[in-house]
């Protein structure tokens, strides 16, 4: 939940690795302590301003969710054809890059279909 996320962020900020940087949560601030108060703060302040991408990043390495031809690793006949395949966010406006990924996926599918022998008798 978002409340758990705020609590985790606070724990991380107090951790030894970040303490040296004098890290502290600026928001919701030290006066917002109870779960109910954190939940109210989240309800009033949480907004979506980022376009998420890269959750199924493509690449040659084993950790990549899909290969460079957008095929989902470990599953047959499934491709990733949206911004989730982009390994890192290139720009904040992801409309054009997302369309490009979709077009590339369609081109890969068409190319592979053309290379397969037809199952229909002539």
Report the predicted TM-score, pTM, of the whole model to 2 decimal places. 0.56
pLDDT band at 49 (very low <50, low <70, confident <90, very high): low
Where helices occur in the chain by DSSP H, the ranges are: 2-14, 16-19, 35-45, 95-115
The per-residue b/e assignment along 82-101, b for 16 or more CB within 10 angstroms, e otherwise, is bbbbbeeeeeeebeebbeeb
CA distance 65 to 54: 9
Active site residue 51: yes
Q: Annotated catalytic residue: which of 3, 13, 23, 51?
A: 51
- Provide the pLDDT for residue 51: 73
Distance in angstroms (rounded) separating the CA atoms of residues 84 and 78? 14
């Amino acid at each position: 939940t978002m409340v758990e996320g705020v609590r985790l962020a606070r724990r991380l900020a107090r951790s030894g690795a970040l303490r040296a940087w004098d890290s502290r949560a600026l928001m919701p601030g030290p006066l917002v302590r109870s779960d109910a108060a954190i939940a109210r703060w989240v309800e009033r302040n949480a907004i979506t301003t980022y376009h998420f991408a890269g959750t199924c990043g493509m690449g040659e390495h084993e950790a990549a969710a899909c290969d460079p031809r957008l095929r989902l690793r470990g599953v047959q006949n499934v491709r990733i054809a949206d911004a989730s395949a982009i390994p890192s966010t290139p720009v904040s406006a992801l409309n054009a890059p997302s369309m490009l990924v979709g077009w590339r996926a369609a081109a890969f599918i068409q190319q592979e279909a053309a290379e397969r022998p037809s199952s229909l008798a002539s």
